[in-house]
Structure 1
């Protein structure tokens, strides 16, 4: 059993580091929504009026996604957690795409800035889906 534990000792993979970077950016955004007079939230929704309540709501939503990023970064072998984190990126970026295309409440620059973090994370998580822990491929090879 000790040899198994030694064999599993490893550092945080690059995807985990990226998720920590994204989580840190999300944490800064959350801080701004709560304590920065919603300045960053207002800048995000440049085409719409942002109330303090809306800013705090976006802050809580972003804090939840930040938490998922950090948890997933250290638990890339946990498929349900990775799926929840992956979907948080899809839902959040999808939400902003709809806000841009349908409601026109965010600008193209905001969408691009958010996409700088979301799109690589979405693609990277898809590419790495079976690379950590006991993935689908690993389970299929077992007798």
Structure 2
């Protein structure tokens, strides 16, 4: 830093007084240099803090953006799973209704809820189970 106080060197001044003034000017300049160095250090520290604050703000913004994107994705996933779940329930209800109908036919045939003629569809040689049981009313009994 440039000297704030200049050295007094007037020939008309007493030598002791001139040295006293020179010491005062030198001490003043030294103190101003200390203050300037302290302010420079403070400015550097503040600048570093400002950089850290800016970095933290950017990280918070990035995190907020990711959370918002995850929320949208989560909502889409929930909607898709709900749709799939409802579709599965509808399919299962259809299967249950068909099975109930088949069980009712079998109960009628097995436990004789009326006079029925039971005719089994003959399975082919490669299949070992019955496809359908004819539970139509026995026409022979209708005429009796």
Q: What TM-score do the two structures reach when normalised by structure 1? A: 0.22
Compare CA radii of gyration and give the structure with the larger one.
2
Q: What TM-score do the two structures reach when normalised by structure 2? A: 0.22
Structure with the higher fraction of residues in helix conformation:
1
